[in-house]
Structure formats: C-alpha cells, structure tokens
Structure 1
Amino acid sequence: MIYRKFGNTELKVSALGFGAGEIGDYGLPDSQVDKLLNTVLDLGINLIDTARGYYASEERIGKFISHRRKEFILSTKVGYRIAGYNDWSYEIILAGIDEALRIMKTDYIDIVHLHSCPTETLQRGDVVDALLEAKAKGKFRLAAYSGENEALKFAIRSGKFDSIMTSVNICDQHSLRNYIPLAKENHLGVIAKRPIANAPWRFSERPFGNYAEEYWLRWKEMNLPFNEDLLEIFLRFTVFEEGIDSAIIGTTNINHLKKNIEIIEKGPLDQNRIKQIKSSYNENWFSLT
C-alpha cells in the first residue's frame, strides 16, 4: 500500500481509502460487513470515511472494528439529522460529534467534516465555531470541509480547516484545477471522493434519474478512445493526480477491494494518456454537488 503525508499533519494516509457509505445498507448481513471492514484493515487501507447520513455505517464501524481503533484514521461528517436539533445549527454540530463518538465506540475521531453545507452557512460562522470548539476539547484531531465549488473555496480561504474532501475524477476536474492547488498552498490534507465518477461506463444508454447520469453525459461528450479496463483508467487517474492524498472508494465485495489495490499498485497513467484526459475536459463543467 502507498502511504502519503496528510497535509500539514503528522498523519499518513493510504492512497486508497475506504468509503463506508455502502456498508450503511441495512439489507447487508452483519457477517458480510464484519469480514469486509476487517479485510480493509488487513490489506493496509488505513483511512475509513463515513458520515451521519450513511444509515448503519457508523454503527457498524463501531461494532466491528472499534477494537482495532489504533490501526485506522477515522473520518466522518456532521451537520444534520438529529432529532430535536435544527440542521446546520451550532448545537447540532456539537451533538453530531458526540453521537459519532458514542456510535463508533471511540474516544476520538481523526477527521470531522462539515458535510456539504452551503457558503452562507459557513459565512454565518456558528457551525464553524462549534466544530473548532469540539476540536479544542480533544474530541477530534482535524477540522474539515466536504463539498464543492464556491463553498469549498470559502472553506479553504477561511484558514479554519485542516483538510478538505471534494470530487475528483476524469469527468469532474473542476476542484482539481481550481481548488486543490489552493488547498495545497494552505497545506491542507486532500481527500478525493467519487474517483471513478460512479462508473458511468456501466450504462449503454443514458441512465435517467441515476446518480451517474450527469457523469455519463460528460463521459460521452469527452469521447475518449479507451478500450482498456475503464475502472483502472479512472482510478489511476484520480489517485495519482497532484495534490491528492487519498481517494476513497466504496464496495461491499472483497474481490473488488483487492482489485482496486492491485490497480493502484501499477502507479500513474502515462503522461500522454493524462494529457488526453485533461484536454478533453470541458472547462465550463463544475463539480457535482
């Protein structure tokens, strides 16, 4: 496994992180999730990213790998969905962090993100103040923002955050070009989400209403003449782009997990392929929210 220094921190993250959204599905057997999460750690992936909104995800992390807490960097997201609190309030940030600590059976979290809140919420200041207050109390190590576009730019420039998470893939290069260089100038850690663009190549026709629809439309417009394994091309592109510390990808299949690791062990794509990918990208596209 490749490990990288995470921004201006003492943490070293695996270049491939585990996105724990899919394990939040209550329909998945506990036994399958138990084996999967422990295999993630056994294979050397040390960044696990979850969120308040990922249903059973935080609960299962606490249930199945809290006994291995020192082996991984734990990232979650807060700001919403707690009964009795208003979303994006000072109080819900504090409550969300306490709930995450309780549910994941840990006395600290490594990274806590504000989860895609709009620019005006960040500008208001109270949710950021709450985040920093909890950090000062030692409840977590790094204050982070997960999101896109103008809100992401505001977060980076505010000087209040230690790291960011944003979309980076072949079909979504806006943050890669506009905000990640700024984040690195400010010594922030950078996590890339959606590294394979929700796998648009799965669909032979436009997937109306599917989360991958916009990426599918972009992929078709880019018209790249690739005949190789597209999963490999997408994943290697994102993982090895300058400024990316780790790219998170989710799966519920251990064989897919192992294949993802084998892919990144091949290293970056050749420069001609990268140039082709970047030149086909439409500068007028923005990151998907």
Structure 2
Amino acid sequence: MKLNAYGRSGLTVSQLGLGAGQIGDAALDEAHVAKLLNTALDLGITLIDTARGYGLSEERIGRHLAHRRSEFVLSTKVGYGIDGYADWTGAVIHAGIDAALMRLQTDVIDIVHLHSCSLDVLRAGEVVEALMRARDAGKIRVAAYAGENDPLGWALAHGGFGGVECSVSLFDQRTLQHWLPAAVERGQGVIAKRALGNAPWRHAERPTGQYVEAYWDRMQVLAYDTTGLPWDEFALRFSAWQPEVSAAITGTTSVENLRRNVDAVNRGPLPDEVVAQLRARFAEVGSQWQGEL
C-alpha cells in the first residue's frame, strides 16, 4: 500500500473511491441507490465523492449512509447553485457548505472542493478565503480544488489547499507530468477522477459529439497494448496505483460493475515496466494535450 497523502490530514482512503454523480439521477430507484451505496462500503470503499451539481446525490448519501458516517471519507464540491446567492462569491461558498452539511446529514465534511472555477476567480481570492474560513471554523477538514490545467497548477502552488481532484487516466496524464509530483512532496492529497477516461473502448467508431469523443481520439493515437487484460481493469490499475494518486474514483449505478472495479484495483498496480511504457508513450505523443473539462 503506497503512502496516502490524505493521511497527513487524519483521513485515510482506499485506492478506489465511489464517484457519486450518477446516483443523483432522480429516475433511479431509491432502494437501488441505497443498495449501491451500502455495498460500496461493504466492499471496502472508504471515499465517496459528490457535488452540489449532482442532482439528488448529496441528499441520497445523507439519507442512506448517515448511520455509517464514521466508515468513509466524504468529499463534495461547492461554488454555485444556491438560490439568492451569486455564483463564485464568498457568500455562496458558505451557503453551499451549510446546505451540504444538512443534505449529507453530517456535522463536518471531510473534503470540500471549489468545483472547477476559473483562474480569474481563484486569483481574486474571495472564494479561496471563504473556503479557508470554513475549514478554520471546523465545518470542513480539508480545503481542496477540483479542476484541470492552469487553475489546477495555481491551486497546487497556492499553499492553502490540502488536496485536489483532477483527471488521471491512460488518456490524460498531463497532471502526472506537470503538477502532481510536487503535490506529493507538499503532502497534498490527490483524487483521480475519470480513471477510466470515459471508457472510450466501448465505441467501435468515433462517438462524434459525445463527451467521450476526445478520449476516443487519444486512444487511437496512443495505441496502447493492454497486455491481455480487459480495458477497464487495465485503466483502473494504472490510475489508482500511480504514486501521486491518493485514490481514484469511478461512478456507476451498477452493483455488478462496482464489484468488478473493486476486484480490479485490489489486484494491485500494473507491472513497473508496463507503467513505464505507458507513461513514456503519453510523453511522446500526448504531452501537450490539455486536461478535458
């Protein structure tokens, strides 16, 4: 087990976390959501990541897991979407955290991220200061930033953020090259989102106009050899076991897929020589690719 950077904040997370965006869909059966969330904890997942913008996700986590709150690290994101408050202001940060505390049915939220705000918003300082005040007041444990590219680099260099959430996948390794090694040196936790790179291998032809399109294009250029492993296992073991990553998150509404993901990550990292080849190939052809927003 590699050193978990979040351990320095008193938080310990397993290598795989649950991205709870998909469970926010109002069309999902409530009993099924309850089963999925509780199964995640039963399988040893200790990080659940949600956001203000994920529909019913926060509310459902509170409803179905409040009685197991001590068993997992809770992460959410704020900055927008509160009636009566302008987005990306100090006031909406405080209101968003208070609303999340109620919806999640908890006295404290372990990690709260600014949710992909722009570099200009970060530099203005108001939302950063509001997040730090919430941390100092004991409402949250770790102030963090979720995003990509230059704003991510700014947040990591700022010094006040205890962690970040950013894309780390076979098809999105720029963070590993540019920013995350220094984050580890500073003791900042890293949650890797899009660990499957939106699973572009599901599409035999270019999925034009779909969210996965950019990753499909990258997959063709990179032309990785999966060494005989299923694509999902290959991708998850790459992302979750990078030394810069505290935990990788994947989202699903399927209990079966959840079990598959846990089993894959529990098989441990890919062989060192395979990882070296994958990182070298990305550095060769993809080092200038921006992180997808």
- How far did residue 268 of structure 1 move? 1.1
Q: Deviations over 1:48-105 (max 9, x none)?
A: 0000000010010011111111111100000011111111011100000000001111
Q: Say which SS state the counterpart of residue 129 (structure 1) adopts.
A: helix
User: Match of 1:261?
Assistant: 262
Matches within 5 A, 1:190-201: 190-201=190-201
1:64 aligns with 2:64: yes
Deviations 1:175-205 (A, max 9, x none): 0111101211211011100001000000011
* Aligned ranges 1:168-207 → 2 under 5 Å: 168-207=168-207
Cα separation, 2, equivalents of 1:96 and 1:136:
16
Query: What residue is the counterpart of 1:89 in the other structure?
Result: 89
How far does the alpha carbon of each residue in 1:258-286 deviate from its partner, in whole angstroms, 9 at most, with x for none?
A: 11111112111112321221222111112
Q: Distance in 2 between matches of 1:253 and 1:2?
A: 28
Q: Could you tell me which residue of structure 1 aligns to residue 218 of structure 2?
A: 218
Q: What corresponds to 1:285 in structure 2? A: 289
Which letter does structure 1 place at the counterpart of 2:288? N
Name the CA shift for 1:71/1:7 in 2 (closer, same or farther; >3 Å): closer
- Give 5+ residue unaligned stretches, structure 1: none
Which position in structure 2 is the counterpart of 1:232?
233
Is 1:2–1:14's contact at 8 Å kept on the other side of the alignment?
no
- Contact map agreement 2:206 2:216 (CA 8 A) in 1: yes
Which residues of 2 match residues 1-289 of structure 1 at below 5 A? 4-6=4-6, 8-226=8-226, 227-281=228-282, 282-289=286-293
Q: What SS class does the counterpart of residue 205 from structure 1 fall into?
A: coil
Unaligned runs of 5+ in 2: none
- The 8 Å contact of residues 88 and 117 in structure 1, kept in 2 or not, is answered as yes
Q: For residue 248 of structure 2, what is the amino acid of its counterpart?
A: A
Inter-CA distance 175–72: structure 2 relative to 1 (3 Å threshold): same
Report which stretch shifted further, 277-286 or 240-249: 277-286
Percent identity, aligned pairs only?
A: 48
Following the alignment from structure 1 to structure 2, what is the Cα–Cα distance between the partners of residues 233 and 105? 36
Matched letter for residue 11 of structure 2: L
- Aligned-partner SS, 2:151: helix
* Change over 3 Å in CA distance of 1:253–1:2 after alignment to 2: farther
Q: Is the 8 A contact 1:20 1:250 kept in 2?
A: yes
* CA deviation after TM superposition for structure 1 residue 125, in Å: 0.4
CA distance in 1, matches of 2:144, 2:18: 17
SS in 2 for 1:17: strand
TM-score using structure 1 length: 0.97
Shift of 1:5: 4.8
- Does the Cα contact within 8 Å between 1:79 and 1:92 map onto a contact in 2? yes
Aligned residues: 289
Moved beyond 4 Å, runs of 4+? none
The two structures, once aligned, show a CA RMSD in angstroms of: 1.4
How many angstroms apart in 2 are the aligned matches of 1:101 and 1:174?
Answer: 34
